Amino acid sequence: MAHLKVAILISGRGSNMAALIEAVQMADFPAEVVLVMSNRSHAVGLEVARAANIPTQVIRHGDFDSREAFDAAMTEVLAAAGVRLICLAGFMRLLSTEFCQRWHDSVINIHPSLLPAFKGMHVHERMLEAGVRIAGCTVHYVRPAMDEGPILVQAAVPIAADDTADSLSARILEQEHRIYPLAVRLIAEGRARAAGGSVTLKNFELPEQRLINPPPR
């Protein structure tokens, strides 16, 4: 099977990017990371990508007059690299409608909540404030509205009584690093198809585990 050419867009530390880079290095992984792009020249993740010999590119949003112009510059670089799938990994810019249309069903994002709950920022604090017992993370196709789009993969984690935003974030992040490579694999293997507002998965078995928090005695 031909390898799916993937670009990863980051703005910061890039731990999800690192998880993706590690995953695609496995012999049977049907995708390759051909580019890591950042809108911030000092994004820590860029160093990690360079150390892994992945081509990097910085396109600073501040250098452009409009979101559309910035996005068009990204499209040019992505298209030139032959990219077929764009993974947003802590990329802190909203994408224009034009960009979303140009790359329809070719952009995915990871978000640290069980969408459609807790879209937006400060998710961990807001989940603790709301007192939910189960948190999680979601990989979804990107649509112009923030944190919206057909869902590919989700993972659930329990929230502890003494959790802080940091401890909860760490517990969720561990699962993010598992489900992002899984989502890329599903797409690369042609097993995921967005139709309407949801994703149809081929060869998909229901997991056996159930998560109840607090656990029943």
Q: Which residues are catalytic?
A: 111
Q: Compare residues 12 and 158 and give the one whose CB is closer to ligand GRF.
A: 12
Is residue 54 near ligand GRF by the rule CB under 6 A? no
User: Considering only residues 110-129, where is the footprint of ligand GRF by CB under 6 A?
Assistant: 110-112
What phi and psi, each to the nearest 5 degrees, are found at residue 32? -135, 145
List Cβ neighbours of 197 (8 Å cut-off, separation of 6 or more): 150
185 touches ligand GRF by CB under 6 A = no
Interface with ligand GRF (CB under 6 A), residue from 4, 8, 9, 15: 15
Q: Which is nearer to ligand GRF, 96 or 109 (CB)?
A: 109
The nearer residue to ligand GRF, 17 or 194, going by C-beta atoms, is: 17
DSSP 8-state code for residue 92: -
Phi then psi for residue 165, to 5 deg, are -55, -35
145: left (phi over 0), alpha (psi -120 to 50) or beta: beta
> Are the beta carbons of 16 and 43 closer than 8 angstroms?
no
Size of the site for ligand GRF (CB under 6 A): 14
Range 130-169, binding ligand GRF (CB under 6 A): none
What pairing do the DSSP bridges indicate for beta strands 56-58 and 151-158?
Answer: unpaired
Interacting residues with ligand GRF (CB under 6 A): 10, 12-17, 89-90, 110-112, 173, 176
